[in-house]
Structure 1
Amino acid sequence: MPGYAPDVELDVRHLRVLCAVADTGSVRKAARRLGMTQPSLTTQLHRIERTIGGKLFTRDRTGSRPTALGHSVLSRARPVIGEMDALIAAAREEAATRPGRRRLRIGSVGSRAVAAWLRRVHDRLPDTDTTIHIDISAIALLQLVAAEQLDIAFVHESEGFPLQVPPGTEQRVLMAREPQFVALAEDHPAAARPVVTLADLAHDTWMVDPTADHEYAALRRVFAEAGLDPRVVQVRDNATAAELVASGEAVRPFQPTSPPGPGTVLRPVDGDPFAHRLLLTWRPTAIGGPALDGLWTDLRRAYLDLAGVNPAYRAWLRRHNRSLRTLLAPAGPVAER
């Protein structure tokens, strides 16, 4: 903008302000999260908007929502914040690692298998300083492995949207096709059926997490192939999403290893149109040989133990006359590439 003088030089603190407003949907809530007063945050937000040269949020009695420009800025701000957080965490881990002890930095998407995996790793490697980094974005985790901020990561890939393997990393498939179930209210008309169809849920509102890689696009692809066009909303907060499902306001895809929340049930979808590929990604310069084999075996056993006690998953396996051991990649040394 000719003759325009920026009000303030933007830094990571200002980006955190924008993300806090977007995440909470409210300047008041964002101020409380950041430990600021509402007037000071409002003043800072106005200065940021003047620096950028446009409105980033619309504000009314219901809260604050990003404008088109705001969405564009946020899409660039979040990776910057993620990289800065990872840098700080890595530096703190480096400083905290005790001399003479090995360090292992594990990353994972959200999965109930993670806790069991980590317990096995701790038991097998008691003299290793092991840390865990959880992120809903598989893409972000792969980037952290490639950037040497993580050593190994457990990720999943939405069917039809393959992940790009970063240079300098290796990958092995734990499970080629994990079916995704659907969570719905226990009094939903389709809840009485052991298996539901997409047509059963065509008039429901579906929910996805907007921060999950390709989840929205994968859902839309499945519906388009089925000739359906249900309403899809994006909800970031898991607690809110669970309440919306339990109240019958919406349904959502769900990992088959996770138990249903209060007031909800899990049901497989006929034909298993939603699926994930489960992958382990590592950097060979950090892990290899017996160490890698051990981590692979720990993860495989953790998944088997977890999935085997889930009633919905066991019923799905019986209907398909399959066992988890045949669906998961075999145990044993990781194949060389």
Structure 2
Amino acid sequence: MTAPEGQLDQTIAARRYGPQARDMDLELRHLKTIRAIADAGSLTRAATALGLAQPALSAQLKRIERALGGPLFDRGRDGVRATALGDLVLERARVVLPAVSELQEEAVRFARTRREPRPGFRLGATHGPLLGGLVDRLMASAPGAPVTTHTSWSERELAASAAEGRLDYALIGACGESPPPEPGRLAWAEVARDPVLVMLADRHPLASRPEIDLAELAAEAWTDVPGDGCFGDCFAAACVRAGFTPASVYETDTASCVHLVQVGRAVGLCRATFPATPGLVTRPLAGTPLVWRHLLGWHPAARAAVHAPTVTAHARAAHADAVTRSAGALDPLGHNAVAGVN
């Protein structure tokens, strides 16, 4: 006599997910995996987000399901959907993961406070002249205080490091009015707001112009430094509004950008703090289609937060100095190329 179909399914599930199949302990990384699958809505997208091959993620999910005693997701052609058990686990994960993250941040801040009796400054920044100016001013104003630096192309990495207590301050940039990363965990102050300038070889046909319309550069190749903000999208949108799509954009380090412009292979995008460089001129774009905001972020509960007003003031002074020394402060033709800088 055979069992009814529903009873048979329950029997198979019991054998597959029963107590004897629980061969591992649940860890935080498993909860993060479950949450990533639910957020992505499919194993394929979740595997991409986690940097895993899909078969590896599928195998990991099966082990997690065995440990928890049942399937967490129903799989279909349209993706995955959480089961009742999956909903329960996800509800707990949404409480546990932020709590553990907050505990880790507090522990790191507490441990470093006890290890560092002297006030110090751990600074992180994207590449540019402001970091050096800020370091100089902090060392001059607080002799003996340790100052360490870290640079990265990733604004998100720097913000996360400040939020997690590995940095005291993150000096980054944001395009236009886009919000900075970690808005709920960090406090942010605007250091300055610059127009984005175009960088040309000094022999370029438009180099003698005091101002250049973006549409006049439609046939050019472009070069810019990398980043994980929205600047690339904002630049592409500005070009579309000007009536063209960039033929090519070389994303590379600052030295390579400068070289490509100097030899006439591309035109570049830069901020008002870009230092004066032989063979180059910078010019404002008509109508200021792109704006760059320099931002300073810190964790409001960190020990270093008490110095935030002072560090912000030093960063603003470093910006003013950098603009004065920049390529666009006063070019050889006597044009003011950074009009409109706040």
For this structure pair, what is the TM-score category when the shorter chain's length is used for normalisation?
0.5 to 0.7
Residues 156 and 204 of structure 1: is their aligned pair in 2 closer, same or farther, counting only changes over 3 Å?
A: same
Distance 1:288 1:210 in 2: 29
Aligned counterpart for 2:180 among listed residues 160, 163, 166:
163
Distance 2:154 2:297 in 1: 14
Residues 234 and 289 of structure 1: is their aligned pair in 2 closer, same or farther, counting only changes over 3 Å?
A: closer
SS of 2:140 mapped into structure 1: helix
Distance 2:272 2:214 in 1: 17
Aligned counterpart for 1:270 among listed residues 286, 303, 306:
286
Distance 1:264 1:275 in 2: 21
SS of 1:121 mapped into structure 2: helix
CA contact (8 A) 2:197 2:271 kept: yes
CA contact (8 A) 1:183 1:266 kept: yes
Aligned-residue offset at 1:138:
1.5
Deviations 1:283-314, CA, capped at 9 Å, x for gaps = 11224675222111111111112212336235
Aligned-residue offset at 1:240:
2.3
Distance 2:233 2:260 in 1: 21
CA contact (8 A) 1:146 1:166 kept: no
Mean CA deviation greater in 185-194 or 126-135: 126-135
Matched AA of 2:168: D
User: Counterparts of 1:1-337 in structure 2 under 5 Å?
Assistant: 100-159=117-176, 161-175=178-192, 177-287=193-303, 291-310=307-326, 312-313=328-329, 327=342
Distance 1:170 1:205 in 2: 38
In the alignment, structure 1 segments of 5+ residues that lack a partner are: 1-50, 55-90, 328-337
The structure whose Rg is larger is 2
CA contact (8 A) 2:275 2:322 kept: no
Mean CA deviation greater in 164-173 or 276-285: 164-173
Deviations 1:93-150, CA, capped at 9 Å, x for gaps = x99x986323321111122121111111011222322111111221221111111111
Residues 289 and 150 of structure 1: is their aligned pair in 2 closer, same or farther, counting only changes over 3 Å?
A: closer
TM-score by length of 2: 0.61
SS of 2:198 mapped into structure 1: strand
Residues 142 and 290 of structure 1: is their aligned pair in 2 closer, same or farther, counting only changes over 3 Å?
A: closer
Aligned-residue offset at 1:257:
1.3
Backbone CA RMSD of aligned residues: 3.1
Matched AA of 2:259: E
Residues 53 and 156 of structure 1: is their aligned pair in 2 closer, same or farther, counting only changes over 3 Å?
A: closer
Distance 1:178 1:262 in 2: 22
Q: What residue number does 2:17 align with?
A: none
Deviations 1:224-260, CA, capped at 9 Å, x for gaps = 1222112132332332222211111111101211124
SS of 1:220 mapped into structure 2: helix
Distance 1:261 1:318 in 2: 16
SS of 1:128 mapped into structure 2: coil
SS of 1:195 mapped into structure 2: coil
Matched AA of 2:185: G
Residues 244 and 163 of structure 1: is their aligned pair in 2 closer, same or farther, counting only changes over 3 Å?
A: same
Aligned-residue offset at 1:221:
1.2
Matched AA of 1:309: R
Matched AA of 2:123: I
Distance 1:287 1:127 in 2: 18
Q: How many residues align?
A: 235
In the alignment, structure 2 segments of 5+ residues that lack a partner are: 1-51, 56-107
Distance 1:110 1:142 in 2: 15
